[in-house]
Structure 1
């Protein structure tokens, strides 16, 4: 199974660069601010464009992994890994529930790959092989291929979505003109934490934050989560946070 890079950011990168060029061409030479904004848009668009066009190859096959991506290049046999796992633990800069493939190197692993992560179940040092947000194939498709070819070495350690959201099963579709992904993920993450670990005060605080954010208007981006799905999900999450019968959790000190 070959994974393909997700190039959904290309149109936005090209738009930023072209917009910056147009603004720069039309700006008055004496006006510094428009020129700086235009240059910033060009630099940002160029950086995203270069990242999206970098060579990328990731093949999951009977013999192992064939990887060609920034920071990792090589062909790795299954026996060169003690374990592989799909992990979706929250981490800086990643969306809620964003999975990545980790590999625990075995004694036969050639030098080169950097160990920058930990196996989600036993904490062993691991290589960050690929972030599945960067590919078009779904995590379920990748998990099926790994289970088929890597066998017992592979563990699907993803947290079920229902567990991540405190027992409420939500899936948000991404599209044009939707709620900003980062803001929705932040609200859901805090609500989930209050449901999983907090007492009444923590749940009330999380619910209040969600309600205030919605009253002020959740930010909308060029690409984001479906507004109808998010509104329905936050309604249910607020209802769960307001449920006084949830007495199985103690308030944090």
Structure 2
């Protein structure tokens, strides 16, 4: 749950997000297990030692990431961010737009007055404008719905919750070993959602054709990706929705 930030006299209206440290036990187990394998292996097979070293390295990386300084506070005037790669306090009016995408990332499109030099590594999920990744909600304990409520209250019309998909289409994909590439699936889904929300019949036909071409060519598979079964079902539903929307437009025009 969110908790009021009452530490600096801001009137108790700010809300502070808290780092999700649920990966710590797994990281510790990886490090300890890898060290034990190394100790037992001794002069054993080289492959076993390499695997153990790899497990230790992964565990240490996750452990370091989980223990890095982190702070994110949302308030009526703006947000304060302290995380790897981004440190600063920004006013809401310094962003032309803010959005929460399907991957759980809060991104902000730079506006007038935003300090130069911020890493523009993301895009607005609705219109594709270059944006700054402000926060990854998968790294905080609070739920996306809680954060969305705070952003809607404080950022107002600048904020868009871009997670909502067409009625009846489940876009909440499970991430696991060997699934469809997250970036490619997000790109196709966002393309379809934008066409459904703002496009006309030609845009919807183009979005459906793009999905069909990607599927015919074979969606790329990644070591960690979206559930293939869930993605296939969602793409089927999106294609159907794009077809129905286009048909409805033609009937209305007739």
Question: For this structure pair, what is the TM-score category when the shorter chain's length is used for normalisation?
Answer: 0.5 to 0.7
Residue 144 of structure 1, aligned match among 141, 149, 159: 149
Residue number in structure 1 paired with 2:108: 103
Residue 160 of structure 1, aligned match among 154, 157, 164: 164
Residue 28 of structure 2, aligned match among 2, 5, 14: 14
Residue number in structure 2 paired with 1:52: 66
C-alpha distance in 2, partners of 1:3/1:145?
11
TM-score normalised by L of structure 1: 0.64
Aligned residues: 208
Cα distance, 1:78 vs structure 2: 1.6
Residue number in structure 1 paired with 2:97: 83
Say yes or no: does 1:197 pair with 2:208. Answer: yes
Cα distance, 1:144 vs structure 2: 1.0
Cα distance, 1:63 vs structure 2: 1.3
1:172-231 Cα deviation digits (max 9, x unpaired):
7x7xxxx83653887xx599899x7269x98x979xx9xxxxxxxxxxx9xx99xxxx99
Residue number in structure 2 paired with 1:3: 17
C-alpha distance in 1, partners of 2:67/2:149?
27
Cα 1:248/1:57, change in 2 over 3 Å: closer
TM-score normalised by L of structure 2: 0.64
Do the aligned residues in 2 keep the contact of 1:162 with 1:170 (CA within 8 Å)? no
C-alpha distance in 2, partners of 1:240/1:149?
34
**Structure 2 gap ranges (5+):** 1-14, 193-206, 219-223, 247-254
Stretch deviating more after TM superposition (10-19 or 101-110): 101-110
Residue 160 of structure 1 aligns to a residue whose secondary structure is coil
Residue number in structure 2 paired with 1:65: 79
C-alpha distance in 1, partners of 2:244/2:90?
50
Cα 1:110/1:181, change in 2 over 3 Å: same
Do the aligned residues in 2 keep the contact of 1:2 with 1:60 (CA within 8 Å)? yes
Cα distance, 1:170 vs structure 2: 6.9
Say yes or no: does 1:128 pair with 2:165. Answer: no
Residue 180 of structure 1, aligned match among 176, 185, 196: 176
**Structure 1 gap ranges (5+):** 89-96, 210-220
C-alpha distance in 2, partners of 1:170/1:152?
24
Residue 26 of structure 2 aligns to a residue whose secondary structure is helix
